[in-house]
Amino acid sequence: METSPYVNCCPCSGLYLNARVQFTRNISSVDCTCIPGYFGPDGGPCSSCEAGKFKDSSGSEPCAVCPSGLFKEVTGPGACSACPAGTYHNGSSRERICAACPANSRSTAGSYLAVNCTCNPGYAGPDGGPCSACEAGKFKASAGSEPCAVCPSGLFKEVRGPGNCQTCPYGLVASASSASCLSCPNGSSYTSFPISAFSEFVFEQQCQSSISVAP
């Protein structure tokens, strides 16, 4: 009868993995190595990787710190994860949870600094916040730290925050602040003509004086 190459084998306990060396000999406790998520010398003892550290393979190598931008909240086995969009990795310690971006700002997945949070369209401020709503008469179409811009001539926006500049209803013209629409004053007439602020279909309304001036 064929003899097994594994003789007098004692099972490894708990956090050890039997290396099972193929020799006809007694294998010792040092052939038991720490399983993933645990570290220690061959033969033990094996200790859990701390939160913020990981170990993917069996052996005596130490646990490694999660790469920048990733975190791990639990001890022992587990993978390092990226913070989801709208959050960032809070602090240098890689076991800490993801912190939410300041109000009216957002980040991409895997962000690890507060400055990775940029102000949403309709809000202005430095990267990392705080982000303030654009005033009425001003707009901001993209995310980032650029300031809000005044609506193009002849257009208005009467709400704060997100929103597009629009043409005034027929018979009205944009105010000087571009925050509202006004009627033409007495002694003036209403006129409308296309402008190229956003598209060829946008029209600007203006009041023109109807009082003739003597030569």
Q: Give the C-alpha separation, 13 to 121, whole Å.
A: 58
How many other C-beta atoms are found inside a 10 Å radius of the C-beta of residue 146? Answer: 12
Looking at residue 194, what is its pLDDT?
Answer: 59
DSSP string, 55-101: --SSSSPPPEEPPTTEE--SSSS---EEPPTTEEE-SS-TTSPEEEP
Q: Give the C-alpha separation, 106 to 103, whole Å.
A: 8
For the chain, the distance separating the N- and C-terminal CA atoms, rounded to the nearest angstrom, is: 128
Looking at residue 215, what is its pLDDT?
Answer: 35
Three-state SS annotation for 125-189: CCCCCCCEECCCCEECCCCCCCCCEECCCCEECCCCCCCCCEECCCCEEECCCCCCEEECCCCEE
Q: Give the C-alpha separation, 98 to 107, whole Å.
A: 12
Q: How confident is the model at residue 30 (pLDDT cuts 50, 70, 90)?
A: confident
Least confident range from 31-35, 53-57, 165-169, 203-207: namely 203-207
Q: Give the C-alpha separation, 172 to 207, whole Å.
A: 9
β-pairing, 149-150 vs 155-156, is unpaired
Looking at residue 31, what is its pLDDT?
Answer: 77
Residue 41 has pLDDT above 80, yes or no: yes
pLDDT digits (tens, 9 = 90+) for 56-105: 999 999 999 988 778 888 899 999 988 899 998 876 555 567 889 999 99
B/e letters for 50-73, b = 16+ CB within 10 Å, e = fewer, are bbbbbbeebeeeebebbeebbbbe
Question: Nearest to residue 67, comparing CAs of 58, 84, 79?
Answer: 79
Looking at residue 15, what is its pLDDT?
Answer: 56
Q: Give the C-alpha separation, 73 to 148, whole Å.
A: 39
Mean pLDDT computed over every residue of the chain: 79
Degrees, nearest 5: CA angle 9-10-14: 140
Q: How confident is the model at residue 136 (pLDDT cuts 50, 70, 90)?
A: very high
pLDDT digits (tens, 9 = 90+) for 143-182: 999 999 999 888 899 999 999 998 888 778 888 899 998 8
Q: How confident is the model at residue 185 (pLDDT cuts 50, 70, 90)?
A: confident
pTM greater than 0.85 (yes/no): no
